[in-house]
Structure 1
Amino acid sequence: MEREEIYSLLQQYQQGKLSTENTLLLYTWLDQVAAHPITEQLPDADANAMKMSVWEHISSQSSKPRVFWLRWKWAATAAILLLLGITYLFRQFIHQAPPPIKMLMASTGQGQMLSLQLPDSSVIWLNANTTLEYPETFSDTLRKVVLVTGEAYFDIRENPHRPFVVQSNHLITKVLGTTFKIRTYKELPDQVAVGTGKVSVATTRHRYLSQLTATDRLVYHAATDSFDLDSVTNAEVADWIQGNIVMTSASIQDVLKELEGIYSVQFITSRSLEKGKLSIAFKKGMPLEQVLQMIERVSVQPGKIHFRNKEAGLYEVY
């Protein structure tokens, strides 16, 4: 039955004006509802009120000829009415839930970069090996996207009435309108670096971490539920969009992850590289061998590192 027809029958039922034919029609539909009941949402007060109403209705029909039309499944129908109530069913049909918002996905592979415009005209740039989920339309109260993996730069239009939220692997980053970069890989700490404006950062478990302003960077270590704060240059936050790679006090792991995305290569090593830090700047068009030579010269902690080309696209770090 159509929604309007069901609504009309329920109205007639509540007013005691439902014909015998329509009573059968309504109970047939309710038989179908019985297979998929939703019993949790009716308040106790409504349930108790409907209990009396339904019992009175059933009792009043017991001496009338149409009572023999009732089938054994009507008991299930009465249970549904007791638990859901006519008022709840009215609510279901009058106040239909809005359709779910369609989610879209954008991804880049190795050596790729992509820019996309969101429904509010904000712009996001995706670095290599990055996946972003975003809604086809934003709600009236919130603009939310999910950075599944990778690195993205956000240029968000200001809207004080609709905060912009980015969920990454371990962090929730909230802004009103600003520019910032987020880097998230499962094997590396999450990073948030701010170009302009302010952002607030909390964990996905809703533990507030810090408010960041221009050139602030937060590095979150999920294993220890701890974070570090330091500073970066504006060039590091945004220049990679134009092909200029600037990394300040970055871990060697971070640098190698960047190189894997840009040059479509893979690095393997038996060394521990989490504590090694270096600062480096280069253009994306620079040959990989030249970049690796730069890293060999500037790497000092926890010791010099070197690279060996094992085969096409595969380098060993030793």
Structure 2
Amino acid sequence: MDQQQVRDLLTKYRLGRCTEEEKALIDQWYGRTARQQAYPPQQLDLEAARAHSWTNILARVQSQHTFEARIHPMRVVYLVAAVAAMLCVGFFWFSGSLTRPGSDGAGRMITASALPGEIKTYRLPDSSLVTLNGGSSIHYPEVFGQKSREVTLTDGEAYFDVKHNASHPFIVEAGRTRTQVLGTVFSVRAYRSLSDVRVTLASGKVGVRNASGYPEMQTTFLLPDEQLVVDNQSGGVRKGHVHARSLAGWIRGALDFNNEELKTIALLLEKKFDVPVRVDSNNLGEQRLTARFRAEETLDDILGTLAMAGSFSYRHVAGQVLISMNEH
């Protein structure tokens, strides 16, 4: 097999178009490469080893490609990774309903934020930690009240590591959602320019309901590896199974898209790389893609691979990226 045939085979593999025989051949390469690495037993991570092997294979046959991604066209749907959120132990519900904001006023308000391209961690008044994705901001009191700890995610995505306190529930208001826990680790995605709010659970239990000012809805409880999607316009909810750990990768700068619309991917790329990314038509923006990219991959690495899978093109124009349909 010559070098061009190898490159063609690897391209088919990334796009999920290999035959079983071709997949077996790729897997053999993975195995041989992985066995050549000296991973200390205590640091062994199978996914990391697989990604490392993949990078080495690509480097040998096509040095200009140094990224790893698994892409599936919109007609192939894999319910793999999910949006970012892990919830550990503890849950509390006040007589079947959530405490409302303003009932426990405490001190002046503080705004914490992360600029596009940044990931920043802040310590809250109760020593809980919050990590903000690029282009995100939260609003909270300088001192939490005596009955509850309330935080508002005003825009973006936040990952909370909440200090346990059985008598003071921790509440996050985002979009039209209100999520309550006692002490846990979880994240919420609620960018203003997206049409929904997403809460995902890795462990423990959490309850989500409408925020103040919206019609009452039945509380939805999530179990580990479940995700709740709430439509900001209609208030409709959708619950499904996900792999919560994968979507928490954004904290390390990685990107994991699970059957996401291209317009959503464009926004997340814009927040990560601080470059405007525009999709030129609604039909193209509704195309769905699944992919995983490591933190060190560039915007062009990611867009080049997505374009190959989604049959679109992109170009840099006047400081922004324009995504458009391929011309036939």
Q: Quickly name the TM-score band, shorter chain normalised.
A: 0.5 to 0.7
Q: Which residue of 2 aligns with 1:278?
A: 289
Aligned match of 1:184 in 182, 190, 204? 190
Specify the alignment match of 1:317 in structure 2: 324
The verdict on how the C-alpha distance between 1:222 and 1:143 changes in structure 2, with shifts beyond 3 A counting, is same
Q: 1:9-46: per-residue Cα shift (whole Å, max 9, x none)? A: xxxxxxxxxxxxxxxxxxxxxxxxxxxxxxxxxxxxxx
SS in 2 for 1:258: helix
**Mapped partners of 1:115, 1:194: distance in 2:** 20
| TM-score normalised to structure 1 length | 0.63
Cα pair 1:172 1:202 within 8 Å, conserved: yes
Equivalent position amino acid for 2:136 in 1: T
* Residue type of the alignment partner of 1:110: P
For the residue of structure 1 that corresponds to 2:263, the secondary structure is helix
Tell me the distance in 1 between the aligned counterparts of 2:139 and 2:290. 31
- Offset of residue 254 of structure 1: 2.1
Distance 2:178 2:123 in 1: 21
The answer as to whether partners of 1:164 and 1:176 remain within 8 angstroms in 2 is: yes
Aligned with 1:163 (options 162, 169, 177)? 169
Cα 1:158–1:136 shift into 2, 3 Å = same
RMSD: 2.0
- Given that 1:195 and 1:237 are in contact with CA atoms closer than 8 Å, whether structure 2 keeps it comes out as no
In structure 2, do the counterparts of structure 1 residues 275 and 130 end up closer, same or farther at CA, with 3 Å as the change threshold?
same
1:100-139 equivalent positions in 2, closer than 5 A: 100-139=106-145
When Rg is computed on C-alpha atoms for both structures, the one with the higher figure is 1
Q: Percent identity?
A: 27
Pick 1 or 2: higher relative contact order, CA cutoff 8 A, min separation 6: 2
Q: Aligned letter for 1:120?
A: D
**C-alpha offsets along residues 209-232 of structure 1, whole Å, 9 cap, x if unaligned?**
411122211111122221222222
Aligned partner of 1:294 among 285, 288, 305: 305
Question: Is the aligned partner of 1:173 residue 2:194?
Answer: no
User: Which of 224-233 and 166-175 deviates more?
Assistant: 224-233
* AA matched with 2:295: K
Instruction: Measure the CA separation in 1 of the matches of 2:252 and 2:232.
Output: 31
**For 1:187 and 1:241, how far apart are their aligned partners in 2?**
21
Query: With structure 2 as the length reference, what TM-score do the two structures score?
Result: 0.62
| Residues 179 and 197, structure 1, Cα contact 8 Å, conserved in 2 | no
Please identify, of 199-208 and 105-114, the stretch whose mean Cα deviation from structure 2 is larger.
199-208
| CA contact 2:266–2:279 (8 Å) conserved in 1 | no
The answer (yes or no) to whether the contact 2:263–2:279 under 8 Å persists in 1 is no
Gaps of 5+ in 2: 1-103
Task: Name the SS of the counterpart of 2:317 in structure 1.
Answer: strand
In 1, Cα distance between the equivalents of 2:297 and 2:180? 36
| Offset at residue 150 of structure 1 (A) | 0.6
Shift of 1:245: 1.8
Distance 1:234 1:184 in 2: 17
Contact 1:123 1:155 survives alignment (8 Å): yes
Assess if the C-alpha contact under 8 Å between 1:236 and 1:247 holds in 2: no
Amino acid at match of 1:284: A
Q: Distance in 2 between matches of 1:128 and 1:260?
A: 9
Aligned mates of 1:289, 1:119 — CA distance in 2: 40
**Equivalent residues in 2 for 1:76-95, closer than 5 Å:** none
Amino acid at match of 2:156: G
Alpha-carbon separation, structure 1, partners of 2:277 and 2:112: 26
8 Å Cα contact 1:268-1:314 kept in structure 2? yes
Alpha-carbon distance, 1:187 to partner? 2.5
Once the two structures are TM-superposed, the CA of residue 289 in structure 1 deviates from its matched residue by: 0.9
How many residues of Structure 1 are paired with residues of Structure 2 in the alignment?
217
1:199 is aligned, of 183, 191, 206, to 206
2:232 aligns with 222
Structure 1: unaligned runs, 5 residues or longer: 1-97
Could you say which residue in structure 2 is the equivalent of 1:57? none
Deviations, residues 240-285 of structure 1 (Å, cap 9, x unaligned): 1122222222222221111001111112233225643222111232
CA distance in 2, matches of 1:218, 1:275: 20
In structure 1, what residue type is equivalent to 2:312?
A: I
Distance 1:140 1:176 in 2: 14
Alpha-carbon distance, 1:100 to partner: 4.6
Match of 2:272 in 1: 262
For residue 298 of structure 2, what is the amino acid of its counterpart? P
Post-superposition shift, 1:134? 1.2
After superposition, the Cα gap between the structure-2 partners of 1:139 and 1:309, relative to the gap in structure 1 and judged at 3 Å, is same
